[in-house]
Amino acid sequence: MTSQNILVVDNEEEIRDILKLHLENAGMQVIEAESGQQALSVLERSSIDLIVLDLMMEHMDGWEVLNHLTQHGLKTPVIVLSARQLEADKIETLGLGADDYVTKPFSPGELIARIQAILRRSNPALRIKRFKLGEAIFDVEGSYIQKRAKKTYLSPIEAALLELFLQNPGKVFTPREILRQVWKLDHGDNNPVKVYVNYLRKKIEDNPAEPQYIQTIRGLGYRFMEEPS
């Protein structure tokens, strides 16, 4: 299988070296950029599967890079890796189109797992067909959940939403991000997200009023937990 090309954009050489080491050990090819302008130059001449992007860089910061990607219709997945830990920064960054947000200091192993999850989601050939959900199995192609002998069928939106959560355990999704990834909408009312989260909870939770799998993170959005708390 062809190695994925990862563009690492960070003005700190030490961070780039650490990422390069771990990404290459995971079988990925790494291209480095130390600035936003250099990153855009790489994107013009190279095929990139995913970008790991710092925010705080001189001349062109990470937010400007995200805006450029959006304005030019570039769909390359982006994981932001930043020392900025404020909730407002995370919300703004995810709203600009980042697929994930990881704060420094970071665990290289966790970052690799997040990268692999996003690559699976963006590459149909790597798409997982069945997920274990407690005592149940979610069949992606059949769009149903089977628990013992009982099958519960999901609507296309419910199935897409559940697959998004299962591909990204522990990741917090804002309603806007869910609208973009499930409904393919960049703007719109967030209410459908709340409605369909409630639909899903009724189908997968033992007690939808006290959800264990799909958790609400106040002020941010929703997070899926593989192991009920």
Per-residue pLDDT tens digits for 116-130 = 888 877 765 555 677
Indicate whether 132 pLDDT > 90. Answer: no
Question: CATH 3.40.50.2300 occupies which residues in the chain?
Answer: 5-124
Contact 6, 31 (CB under 8 A): yes
How would CATH label the architecture of 5-124?
A: 3-Layer(aba) Sandwich (3.40)
- Please report the pLDDT score of residue 23 as a whole number: 93
129-224 is classed CATH 1.10.10.10: yes
pLDDT score recorded for residue 128: 60
Task: Please give the Cα distance from 13 to 32 (Å, whole number).
Answer: 9
pLDDT at 126: 53
pLDDT at 53 over 90: yes
pTM comes to 0.57
List, in order, residues 6 or more apart from 115 with CB less than 8 Å away: 6, 23, 26, 28, 50, 52, 79
- Read off the pLDDT of residues 69-102 as tens digits, 9 standing for 90 and up: 888 878 889 999 999 988 888 888 888 888 889 9
Q: Which residues pair with 6 in a beta bridge?
A: 30, 50
